[in-house]
Chain A
């Protein structure tokens, strides 16, 4: 199973690399912080307004290390969901529609191995997009605003190297619920067999989750909704660091990711492939 999954994973990566839209998605992710930085540079927004009124927002213009975190808050659910939906919704359905699924299903890999390879490739792609976003954002921010200490959410100053070191776990924490959203997109991709339906469905799903989180009647369960986990990285920028939200983010994301992945696996195993 493992070797077959690795074969499928490598093949999926190769397919992704060969497609222009893959690079377009990664380039878009990388350009977001640059566009944001330029807009801040040329805008006349006064401190304490707009982007300055976000976690770590007061650090804008003072430290280039803040830019990624401010943008993450601003793009909220839509940005990562859009990229996740575009790839997850497409990764099975597009092959179904193009007929290439039947081409690979009659080779020497089991269906489960093929799907597992697709899941890993999907997660790798999202990680690559997030990495491109992070690296370009940090480098651009440092070039324009310098490698300076940050004031964290508790109001304490943290050194620039420490802030830089926190970037990686923060982005990982941010990425985990995004993978859960992508898992639902993959499920829709398998079930609907239609790229557009799966992509639109994933976006609607994320928006619905965000809508639920905004309902005051659901305030008591807000902490356990998937979109809330997109802010779990805030815990890393508090002193002392509270681990509760981080742990909760991990298991809540798993709860949201595993059922659609299992359902996708079951459907993919049993379905007829007759384009």
Chain B
């Protein structure tokens, strides 16, 4: 391991399939201890990026470093301490959960023995079903076994791709708790998902990818803070209020929506100037509120997937 090298660092990562650029100059930096959300709609390039990180798919351009090592040049060193599940855990259906773990542990050369396997089986609460064939497992149990197959590697970096897919609500809640526990143990986690709710509950930082490009990278708090907030005004005379607003320099981009005015307002002196101007024009203020954009709305804005009827806030760039 290169001292102080981040668990994941990509620069200008590109993957093309024919004419389609699935991943387009992606830069990612995941720091030690991060629980990093990798968000984007289906087909945005998340899974392809993860495949490149794990050396399953060759990149067309750019660099990848896992703890300072390139998985294409030296996969054994680069993947030392790295574990991941792409799309969904794929295990040997005709073998028991325990036999799967024994088999995969043998590939790891970590010397993991029965006690280690018992430990991870306990951790994912599968000990009682460890002797059953995987073909008899539910989707949630497969996810947990998949995570156990990662944990048997004693990873420092864990990549999970859509771990909640096909899992029932109780299973999702369990997975969230497990991810938090693993993060508390110091494991860096990259969690790829198309569901904001899945990411915002556990992740400290996120990258949002859309059509192969990173459109935002930072913390969720920064994302929320960076969103431009619209004000909503209900007045006794909306048309006169609109005339007043058009004369106030602190008001921008005003729109009359029914009997409600919406606009962007300079934060510092805008409210004072506006209320004074409205009072002088003898327009009564029924309410003046500021929208708090939801993360979901921000996500849809970033990925240009506007749900029907949603208010779409503006977001400052990456």
Q: CB within 8 Å of B: which residues of A?
A: 4, 7-8, 10-11, 14-15, 18-20, 98-100, 102-110, 270, 272-275
Contacts and interface: CB of A to CB of B under 8 A. Distances in A.
B90 A107 contact: no
Contact of B54 (A10, A18, A106, A109): A106
B90 A275 contact: yes
B108 A108 contact: yes
- Interface SS of A by simple majority: helix
A106 B90 CA distance: 12
B295 interface: no
Contact of A19 (B51, B57, B76, B94): B94
Nearest to B159: A106
Nearest to B133: A18
B76 A11 contact: no
Contact of B58 (A4, A20, A98, A272): A272
Contacts of B94: 18-20
B56 A105 contact: yes
8 contacts: A15-B103, A100-B90, A109-B107, A109-B109, A110-B76, A273-B57, A274-B51, A275-B87
Nearest to A271: B58
A7 B87 contact: no
A8 B92 CA distance: 15
A106 B57 contact: no
B271 interface: no
Interface residues of B, number: 34
Given A18-B99, A108-B76, 20 more contacts: A10-B106, A11-B106, A11-B107, A15-B103, A18-B92, A18-B94, A20-B94, A100-B91, A102-B51, A103-B149, A105-B54, A105-B56, A106-B83, A107-B153, A108-B107, A109-B109, A110-B75, A272-B56, A273-B57, A275-B87
Contact of A106 (B58, B79, B87): B79
Contacts of B108: 107-108
Which of B51, B87, B90, B91 has most chain A Cβ within 10 Å? B90
Given A104-B104, A108-B107, A274 B57 contact: yes
B316 to A, nearest CB: 35
B92 A102 contact: no
Contacts of B313: none
Contacts of A98: 90, 93
B171 to A, nearest CB: 20
Contacts of A11: 103, 106-107
Contacts of B109: 4, 7, 108-109
A272 to B, nearest CB: 4
A19 B135 CA distance: 13
Nearest to B90: A99
